[in-house]
Amino acid sequence: MNEKIESLKARFKEKMASVNQKEALEQLRVSFMGKKGEFTALLKDMKDMQEGVRKQFGQLVNCAKMDFERAILEKAREIEAAEIAKKTESEWVDITWPEEPLQGSAHPLSIVRAELEDLFTSLGFDIMDGPEMEEEYFNFNALNIPEDHPARDSQDTFWLKNGKLLRSQTSPVQIRGMLAKKPPIKFVSPGKTYRNEAVDASHEHSFHQCEGLVIDKGITVSHLVFTLQQIISSIFGEEVEIRLRPSFFPFVEPGFELDFKCRICKGKGCSVCKQTGWIEYLGCGMVHPQVLKNCGIDPEIYSGFAFGGGIERLAMMKYGIDDIRHFHGGDLRFLKQF
């Protein structure tokens, strides 16, 4: 019986010498110590042994098994250390060494934002910006969201000690624009926004929006649909079918959710569009008359539409990114793709 154990040790040692990957090490472990491994086969022979011999043989088998387990554990550590060393060597950068400076590139969100600004400029829109640290009036009250309005729950943001807040949307820029300009008004307001949300693959506490506003005489829903059709088709470089679904936003009436036909399955239904054939993209609607009044614009004379969507969502669809957290993770392996 000792010969069997020594033979087993010799085979194990021989095979272990050629293992240099985790997968091969696991296969070796299973072949020797799995339910159908060689140790199990040895133990089956014990039932035919005399009691004294069986006890001695069992002890030898257990000792050999512990030796094998220690050898496998040590080999696993060696393989992991080698992988770390290889990765460290390939990704190592001396940030103090000026001789070969790294070539930078635009962030994917900057790329998409620049494309949006170029697109809207070509359609006659101005580009407006506003403060990220905003007043409660511009972020909520002027947009028909008083203190007791339930819509504040869905836009819970970060409040500051000075009484101000981090804007939960770029809509405050629209209020500032209507107060500063006289109709006709036509601009977009791309920028960073904040929400007090749990972070996961599709939600971030910091993200970017691009909202648009058009105010003039005789503006109708037809103008809204045509404009959005042109925008979506220009973004993707081809004619894209859209649809509007009724929805509620305090600052527009009527309000809509805009969907466009899934570009992956062409509307047949797939995992990307959750088998619906449509992708939800942005909210929009006709500017609420009270919001116009809040900005000193007569709703009996002027009307308008507004729309807004997330830049991260657009970038995820454009580049096939499945986790919003990649944008702010600072991982060079992700950023170098752009």
Q: Which residue segments constitute the domains of the chain, with CATH numbers given?
A: 2-91 (no CATH), 108-335 (3.30.930.10)
Quote the CA–CA distance of 10 and 229 in Å, as a whole number: 73
Residue type, 122: S
Which has more confidence, 304 or 235?
304
Measured from the Cβ of residue 296, the count of other Cβ atoms closer than 10 Å reads: 9
Q: What is the pLDDT of residues 103-122, one digit of tens each?
A: 778 899 999 999 999 999 99
Tokens read off for 232: 């979506």
Structure-model confidence comparison of residues 212 and 95, the more confident one: 212
| Calpha distance 93→96 (Å, rounded) | 9
Q: Which residues have CB under 8 Å from 251's CB, separation 6+? A: 143, 144, 145, 171, 287, 288, 291, 306
Between 214 and 75, name the one with better pLDDT.
Answer: 214
pLDDT (0 to 100) of residue 60 = 77
The answer on pLDDT for 151 being more than 90 is no
pLDDT above 80: residue 264: no
What global pTM score does this model have?
Answer: 0.65
